[in-house]
Amino acid sequence: MLTITGEIKVFENKKGFSTSISRVKDLKAETREYDSIWVPVEFVGKESKKGEDLRHGDDVNILNAWLSFRETEKGHKYVTLVVSDYALVKQPPKSKK
């Protein structure tokens, strides 16, 4: 099993949380253009660690996660990031302008 660790930024939507994965389209190009996809993030585990302490735009340090997939009612399959352990990365408050 492939396990995943590291920092990600999570974004909240109607269905829960997701994160973005980006790549450079052409490494040789002078200007960098990126392709991105959104990957759903599913929090599992202890009751207190199911993502209830997270907000839109939070940075999270993934301590234990893996890739899995889910299936919609219409039979479409999609990849999801399943997180069983994480730590919220504390950020300084935004300055008022």
Show me where the domains of the chain are located: 3-88
Distance CA 23, CA 6 (A): 17
Q: Report whether pLDDT(34) > 90.
A: no
User: Which segment, 20-24, 36-40, 69-73, is predicted with the most confidence on average?
Assistant: 69-73
Q: Report whether pLDDT(88) > 60.
A: yes
Its pTM surpasses 0.75: no
Query: What one-character DSSP code corresponds to residue 95?
Result: P
Distance CA 34, CA 66 (A): 24
Token duo for residue 50: 């199911």
| 3-state secondary structure (DSSP) of residue 47 | helix
Q: Report whether pLDDT(68) > 80.
A: yes
Hey, which residues does 82 pair with through a beta bridge? 42, 66
Specify the range with the lowest mean pLDDT, choosing from 4-8, 71-75, 84-88, 93-97.
93-97
Hey, which residues does 80 pair with through a beta bridge? 68
Q: What is the CATH number of domain 3-88?
A: 2.40.50
